[in-house]
A and B are shown apart, each in its own frame.
Chain A
Amino acid sequence: GAVVSQHPSWVICKSGTSVKIECRSLDFQATTMFWYRQFPKQSLMLMATSNEGSKATYEQGVEKDKFLINHASLTLSTLTVTSAHPEDSSFYICSARQESNQPQHFGDGTRLSIL
């Protein structure tokens, strides 16, 4: 149980394009979803927290107009990297949590490479 699917797992695109990443909880309803970014050999950095039906809460330093998050249902959240540039290249990971006192369950991440 507690499976989180993230898609795509790997994407390469040209600078200036927008990229959408999907995160789905397959066998539970996620009241809260989280988006992280991870650089090589570093820990996960929380980008934003979203609750179903409400606007995402972004961490300090994360541009909300750059990283658009939509938590449209209890099983789906999307992260759109708008007008992506090479510095946005990273490993993006989502997680989902059913209730507040339960652990997060993570997707397998998306490797984003901007040329």
Chain B
Amino acid sequence: LAKTTQPISMDSYEGQEVNITCSHNNIATNDYITWYQQFPSQGPRFIIQGYKTKVTNEVASLFIPADRKSSTLSLPRVSLSDTAVYYCLVGDGSTNAGKSTFGDGTTLTVKP
């Protein structure tokens, strides 16, 4: 399983763009990259998933370089409610038994 490394914590201010980078040097060919957001005492919430290049949805963008050894989650114009732990998950998407391992996550604190 690919191990992931993220910054432990980040601070930002309301209205700013936040970029969180995840390193996954031993990502395998079949692995997808997925980002989740978790609030205290809740299950993680899916944000975005990608395999290569750039993916964008209504809440975030995901940038993946050609070598796929890292990925960057971009949150535009964060608000106080975006304060949470963000996890980068790299996992085997080739079979139904494929699993992923959570890293330590990044605690994002958005200040007014």
Contact = CB atoms under 8 A, between A and B. Distances in A.
A binds B: yes
Contacts, number: 66
A43 B102 contact: yes
A43 B49 CA distance: 19
A19 to B, nearest CB: 18
A34 interface: yes
B66 interface: no
B87 A100 contact: no
Interface residues of B, number: 26
Interface residues of A, number: 31
Interface stretch (B12-20, B21-29, B74-82, B92-100): B92-100
A91 B39 CA distance: 13
A46 B42 contact: no
A43 B96 contact: no
A114 interface: no
A43 B99 contact: no
